Amino acid sequence: MSRITRLTGFPEWLPRERVVEQHVLDTLRQTFELHGFSGIETRAVEHVDFLLRKGEIDKEVYAVRRVHADERDHDQLALHFDLTVPFARYVLENAGKLEFPFKRYQIQKVWRGERPQNGRFREFIQADIDVVDRDTLSSTFEVELPLVIADAFAALDLGQARMHVNNRKLAEGFYRGIDIDDAAAVFRHIDKLDKIGPDKVADLLAADGLTAEQAKQCLALASISATDESFVDQVRALGVQGDLLDEGLEELARVVTAAAEDAPGFLVADLKIARGLDYYTGTVYETVLAGHEALGSICSGGRYDKLASDGKTTYPGVGLSIGVSRLVSRLIGEQMVTATRGVPTAVLVAVTDEERRRDSDRVAKSLRSRQIPTEVSPSAAKFGKQIKYADRRGIPFVWFVGDDGAHEIKDIRSGEQIAADPETWTPSEADRLVAVIQKEQS
C-alpha cells in the first residue's frame, strides 16, 4: 500500500474541483439533448487493427491484455484514443437498428500513450457530437453543428469562444483554379502559417514547384477572414473560377450567415484553417477561447464523406469534438470557475445526543423528500463542533432538533437562527444545490 505515486498525464480532481468538471459535462449533455442528439457510450477498447487503420497514430495507443491471457484469448485490444473511430465501428455494427441521419453525442474518456515526459494528458474526456447518414449527408448539418457548439459555450459562460471555419471544397477548388494539382501539399504548408509566417510558407510552396504567382494567390486566400458573407467577395476579387470553388463558397457562406444571426461574434470564416484536410471533405472547424489561445483548439472537427464503410454502404458524417479535460484543467487551474461548496449538502442536522439520533434522521428524511440535500451529523459532539463540521465543508445550514419538536435552523454564514418546520422549510434555490461561480472577467 505504500507506493503512492502520482501518474503524470492522468488528471484527477478533488471533490470541489470535480463539481466544476461535472457542471461542464452536465451543461454539454443538456445542450446536446436540447438539439436532439442521442447519447451513446461505446466500450473503452477496440481491436488494435481497427484502431490503427490510420498508421500515423500507432505510437499513441495503449495496448490492453489480460495478465494471464491464454491461447483461447485471441483479441488484440487497445484503449480508444478518440471517440470517432469507436463511433464509426458502432455505426457499422448497429446500422440496421439506427435511424439515419443519426445524431449522437458521446462524452467519454479517451487514452493516448503519450511519452510520460511530454506533459500531455494520457487520459482525458472528450465530448463529441456527430451526424452520420447513409450514402449522402445534407450539408445542412455543417451549418447546424457549429450552432450547437455555440449554444454549449454560451451555456458554459466562459467568455468569448470563437470558432474558425474553412471549407475544403473552397480551398481545393481555388487551388485547382490556379492549376495546382497537389492540394494536400499546399494544405500542409498553409497549416504552418501562424507558426512560421507567410514568407517561409512562400518558400515552402516555391520548393514544391509553385510559381511565385501561385504562392501569392494561396497566401492571399489564406489571409481572408470575415464574420459575414463578405469573404465571398474577397475570394472573388482574386479572380479564380471553378465549380468546386463555387460550391465551397456557398456552403461556407451558409454557415457564416446562420451563425451571424444565431450566435453573433462566435463564428469567423478563416481561410487559413487547414486542419486534418486529408480526410475532411467539406467544412472544417477549430475553436479558441479568448485569453486562452495557448490552449490551442478546444473544439475541432469537420465533414468527412467516409466516416465508415462496410464495402457496400458508405456513411458520411460531420462532427465536432470538445476537449473537455483540457478546458476543465484550465478552468480549475486558473480558478475561472469555482464551486459554491465542497459537498452537495445544504443542511446538516445536528444530533443532540445519540439516544435521539433517530429524531435527527427523521428531519433529514423530511428535507430530502423535498429534494434538499441533507446529512445528519456523524457525532453527538458539542454543537460548536458539529457547526464546525458544516463550516469546513461549506454546508450553509445547521438544523437543531429541540425538545418537544421545537426545531431551529441556523444559517452559519450570517449566524441567523430561526424556528423552522421540517415539513415546510425550504432554502433558496441558490443554496439548495451546489453550483459553480464564474470569476469576474478581468
Torsion angle in degrees (nearest 10) through CA of 144, 147, 153, 159? 150
- Residue 102 beta carbon to a second copy: minimum distance, rounded to whole angstroms: 8
Q: Does 112 count as an annotated binding residue?
A: yes
Q: Which parts of 261-280 interact with a second copy (CB under 8 A)?
A: 261-262
- Please identify, among the stretches 110-118, 176-184, 266-274, 421-429, the one whose residues bind a second copy according to the rule CB under 8 A: 110-118
- Does position 290 bind a second copy by CB under 8 A? no
- Does position 195 bind a second copy by CB under 8 A? no
- Residue 378 beta carbon to a second copy: minimum distance, rounded to whole angstroms: 5
CA angle, residues 67, 73, 74, in degrees to nearest 5? 120
| Alpha carbon distance 122, 381 (integer Å) | 45
- Does position 140 bind a second copy by CB under 8 A? yes
| Alpha carbon distance 303, 284 (integer Å) | 7
Q: Quick one: 4 or 294, whose CB is closer to a second copy?
A: 4
- Does position 123 bind a second copy by CB under 8 A? yes
Q: Quick one: 273 or 387, whose CB is closer to a second copy?
A: 387
Q: Quick one: 298 or 318, whose CB is closer to a second copy?
A: 318
Contact 262, 147 (CB under 8 A): yes
- Does position 92 bind a second copy by CB under 8 A? yes
In order of 51, 60, 73, 174, the CA distances from 77 in angstroms are 9, 14, 11, 43
- Residue 416 beta carbon to a second copy: minimum distance, rounded to whole angstroms: 22
- Does position 313 bind a second copy by CB under 8 A? no
| Alpha carbon distance 354, 60 (integer Å) | 56
Q: Does 275 count as an annotated binding residue?
A: yes
Candidate list 75, 157, 203, 278; residue touching a second copy; CB under 8 A: 75
In order of 183, 285, 295, 344, the CA distances from 267 in angstroms are 25, 10, 18, 37
3 state DSSP class of 425: coil
Helix axis angle, 168-177 to 243-262, nearest 10°: 150
Q: Is omega for the bond preceding 101 within 30 degrees of 0, making it cis? A: yes
199 CB burial (10 A radius; 0-12, 13-18, 19+): exposed
Residue 37 CA to its chain's centroid (Å) = 15
- Does position 103 bind a second copy by CB under 8 A? yes
Q: Which parts of 232-261 interact with a second copy (CB under 8 A)?
A: 258, 261
- Residue 40 beta carbon to a second copy: minimum distance, rounded to whole angstroms: 5
Candidate list 47, 200, 236, 382; residue touching a second copy; CB under 8 A: 47
Binding marks (x or -) toward a second copy, 4..43, rule CB under 8 A? xxxx--xxxxxx--xx-xx----------xxxxxxxxxxx
Q: Does 330 count as an annotated binding residue?
A: no
Candidate list 160, 241, 335, 371; residue touching a second copy; CB under 8 A: 371
- Please identify, among the stretches 210-218, 304-312, 316-324, 399-407, the one whose residues bind a second copy according to the rule CB under 8 A: 304-312
- Does position 64 bind a second copy by CB under 8 A? yes
The amino acid that residue 128 corresponds to is: D
C-alpha cell at 153: 459555450
Q: Quick one: 211 or 369, whose CB is closer to a second copy?
A: 369
Candidate list 241, 379, 426, 438; residue touching a second copy; CB under 8 A: 379
Candidate list 56, 88, 215, 236; residue touching a second copy; CB under 8 A: 88
- Does position 293 bind a second copy by CB under 8 A? no
Please name the residue that has the C-alpha cell 470558432.
Answer: 163
- Residue 293 beta carbon to a second copy: minimum distance, rounded to whole angstroms: 28
Q: Quick one: 165 or 348, whose CB is closer to a second copy?
A: 348
- Residue 62 beta carbon to a second copy: minimum distance, rounded to whole angstroms: 5
In order of 172, 178, 241, 242, 251, the CA distances from 247 in angstroms are 11, 17, 11, 9, 6
Torsion angle in degrees (nearest 10) through CA of 201, 202, 204, 206? 170
| Alpha carbon distance 263, 139 (integer Å) | 19
- Does position 210 bind a second copy by CB under 8 A? no
Dihedral pair phi/psi, residue 165, rounded to 5°? -130, 140
Dihedral pair phi/psi, residue 204, rounded to 5°? -65, -40
- Please identify, among the stretches 237-245, 289-297, 306-314, 423-431, the one whose residues bind a second copy according to the rule CB under 8 A: 306-314
- Residue 409 beta carbon to a second copy: minimum distance, rounded to whole angstroms: 16
Q: How many CA atoms lie within 13 A of 342 on its CB side?
A: 9
- Does position 89 bind a second copy by CB under 8 A? yes
| Alpha carbon distance 403, 57 (integer Å) | 69
Known binding positions for L-histidine: 82-84, 112, 126, 130, 275, 279-280
Known binding positions: 82-84, 112, 126, 130, 275, 279-280
